[in-house]
Structure formats: structure tokens, C-alpha cells
């Protein structure tokens, strides 16, 4: 485990606020540069005057006693087989954190393993951490993968339209204890069948959207930072002031435009 309390740029030297972030297996689970999410988080948090203290947890490492935000990226079946048991052993702590409103963002292969289980393309049954009441099955050879740009409307208030990119064979189905994170406008989402995208439990979010996701979606980034601050500071935590960051809004608008041009409007696949 590495503790990384870097000196922040001079503009944030007097920051009053800070959040603790755990990144899980970022040396293994980094499809489509999902590690970019932590880079975007640091940059956006600095603009809000919030320090970010990152603890990177990989295979065999213990979790810290507490945190405000957990990030995990995507990975292919091979990488998922490497981490599944180690991650599932952290399940009780991760579920307790989710119940205590720790913010989380689990992407694609990480999202699948934050569910109950994942039956991969070889038929192997991988255990999940059980944060989300979702189950994922890869239908196996001969089935098309769900690939392409996605636009989805977040169910989470204040986050709005999301732009991302998906590439997964696994189809994820929500159990009775899961709510969708978003509804698909373009692309496939959880399974190409029910129009749902991702899952949420309190402040924990699972999604198929790579991007990297956070640089393309500043409203989601602010949502996660605010949730992490509420966990750190309690319910009286001051809301984030809006920051004029036209470059971030432009990045979002460009990603939405590209996705609409290149992708398929959502319609049932079966």
C-alpha cells in the first residue's frame, strides 16, 4: 500500500478541506485508462480547494480503516480472474462503507465484481464483493459484445446527461435490491434489454462507462466530490460552490456530440 499525500499546487496550499480516496487494483484494472478518473478527480478537487489523499490498494494489501471515496476501473476477464477472490474478501468492509455513505465509482469489470457474481466468457463463476445486488453473465462465444459510445441520463439528481464508452461481453441484471445508476439513450448499458445502465447503493455507483469517464462528465465528478466531503465532514458539510470551468463543460459537450454521431439510439437487442 502506498500513501500519497503529495504537496498540492500553490493555489490550493490553504485548502481547508480534504478527502481520502482508495484506488483498488489500479495496476491491474485500467482498461481505457480508467486511472484517468483519479487524475481528473485531483484536478477538479484542487479547483474546489479540496485536497485529495490517495491510498492505492492492490493484490494482498489491506484496506485502510476508513475512506471517503473508492475507485476501481475496468479489466478483461483475465484481469478479473486475478483480483476476484482478493476483492471478494474485502466485501464485508466495502458493503459496510456503502451503508455508511462512502462514495464509490466502480467501472465495467470493476462494477461486475462489485456485484454478487460474474460468470465469465469461459463459464468460470467469479465471486463478487456484493456491494450491488446485480449479477453478470457473459453469454459466451457467438454473442456480440456491447461496444460503442453511450449517452445515458443519470437517475442520480443533478448529474444529468452522461457521455462514456462501453465494451463488455457480460450482461448485468439488477436484483430487487439494486437501483439503476442511469437510463440509456444511446448504446447498450447493463444488458441491451431493459434500458438500465449501472447500479447505485447510497453514494456508491457502478457503471459500464469508460472514457475515462470523469474528465468527460464534470457534473458526476462534482457529485462524487460532494458525497465524499459529506462523508468526511458530516451532514452539515458545505455544498460545493460552482466553479466556472468552461474547458470541462466543452469536453462534456464534445463527448456528447461525438457519441450521438457515432452510436446507436437505444433499442432492445433481443
From the candidates 108, 146, 168, 252, which is the catalytic residue?
Answer: 108
Name the residue with the smallest CB distance to ligand GLN: 74
Phi, psi of 53 (to 5 degrees): -110, 110
Asked if residue 31 binds ligand GLN (CB under 6 A), the reply is: yes
HSE, side-chain direction, 13 A CA sphere, residue 159: 26
Whether 210 is catalytic: yes
77 or 149, CB closer to ligand GLN?
77
From the candidates 48, 90, 168, 210, which is the catalytic residue?
Answer: 210
Asked if residue 77 binds ligand GLN (CB under 6 A), the reply is: yes
**In Å, how far are 234, 258, 260 from 215, measured between CA atoms?**
27, 15, 18
Asked if residue 149 binds ligand GLN (CB under 6 A), the reply is: no
Residue whose C-alpha is closest to residue 109's, from 37, 41, 34: 34
Asked if residue 231 binds ligand GLN (CB under 6 A), the reply is: no
Q: Considering the complex, what minimum distance in angstroms separates the CB of residue 18 from ligand GLN?
A: 30
Asked if residue 101 binds ligand GLN (CB under 6 A), the reply is: no
- CA–CA–CA angle 217, 188, 190 (5° rounding): 85
Asked if residue 167 binds ligand GLN (CB under 6 A), the reply is: yes
Cell (9 digits) for 110? 470493476
CA distance 114 to 133: 9
Which residue numbers are catalytic? 108, 210
Binding site for ligand GLN (CB under 6 A): 31, 74-77, 80, 108-109, 138, 167-170
Amino acid at each position: 500500500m502506498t500513501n500519497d499525500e503529495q504537496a498540492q499546487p500553490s493555489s490550493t496550499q490553504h485548502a481547508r478541506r480534504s478527502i481520502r480516496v482508495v484506488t483498488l487494483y489500479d495496476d491491474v484494472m485500467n482498461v481505457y485508462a480508467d486511472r484517468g478518473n483519479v487524475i481528473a478527480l485531483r484536478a477538479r478537487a484542487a479547483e474546489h480547494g479540496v485536497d485529495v489523499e490517495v491510498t492505492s490498494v492492490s493484490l494482498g494489501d489491506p484496506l485502510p480503516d476508513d475512506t471517503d471515496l473508492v475507485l476501481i476501473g475496468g479489466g478483461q476477464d483475465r484481469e478479473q480472474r486475478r483480483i476476484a477472490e482478493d476483492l471478494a474478501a474485502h466485501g464485508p468492509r466495502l458493503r459496510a462503507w456503502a451503508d455508511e455513505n462512502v462514495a464509490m465509482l466502480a467501472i465495467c469489470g470493476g462494477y461486475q465484481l462489485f456485484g454478487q457474481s460474474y460468470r465469465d466468457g469461459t463459464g468460470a463463476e467469479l465471486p463478487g464483493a456484493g456491494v450491488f445486488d446485480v449479477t453478470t453473465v457473459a453469454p459466451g462465444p457467438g454473442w456480440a459484445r456491447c461496444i460503442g459510445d453511450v449517452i445515458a441520463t443519470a437517475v442520480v439528481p443533478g448529474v444529468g446527461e452522461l457521455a462514456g464508452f462501453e465494451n463488455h461481453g457480460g450482461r448485468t441484471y439488477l436484483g430487487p435490491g439494486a437501483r439503476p445508476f442511469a437510463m440509456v439513450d444511446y448504446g447498450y448499458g447493463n444488458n441491451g434489454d431493459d434500458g438500465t445502465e449501472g447500479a447505485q447503493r447510497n453514494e456508491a455507483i457502478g457503471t459500464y462507462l469508460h472514457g475515462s469517464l470523469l474528465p468527460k462528465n464534470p457534473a458526476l465528478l462534482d457529485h462524487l466530490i460532494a458525497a465524499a466531503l459529506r462523508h468526511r465532514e458530516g451532514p452539515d458539510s458545505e455544498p460545493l460552490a460552482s466553479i466556472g470551468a468552461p474547458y470541462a463543460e466543452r469536453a462534456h459537450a464534445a463527448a456528447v456530440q461525438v457519441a450521438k454521431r457515432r452510436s446507436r439510439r437505444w433499442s432492445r437487442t433481443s
